[in-house]
Amino acid sequence: MKARCRAQSGVKVELSVLDLSPIGCMVRRHAWSAQVHDRILIQLEGLGFQPAEVSWVEGELAGIEFEQLLHEAVLERLKASLARTARAA
The whole domain housing 65 covers 2-69
State the CATH number of the domain containing residue 19.
2.40.10.220
Domain count, the chain: 1
pLDDT, tens digit (0-9, with 9 covering 90-100), for 24-80: 999 998 888 889 999 999 999 999 999 999 999 999 999 999 999 999 999 999 999
CA 31/CA 22 separation, integer angstroms = 26
Query: Is pLDDT above 80 for 89?
Result: no
On whether residue 29 sits in a domain, the answer given is yes
Q: Let me know if residue 77 belongs to a domain.
A: no
Residue 17 maps to a domain: yes
- Render pLDDT for 67-78 as a digit per residue (tens, 0 to 9): 999 999 999 999
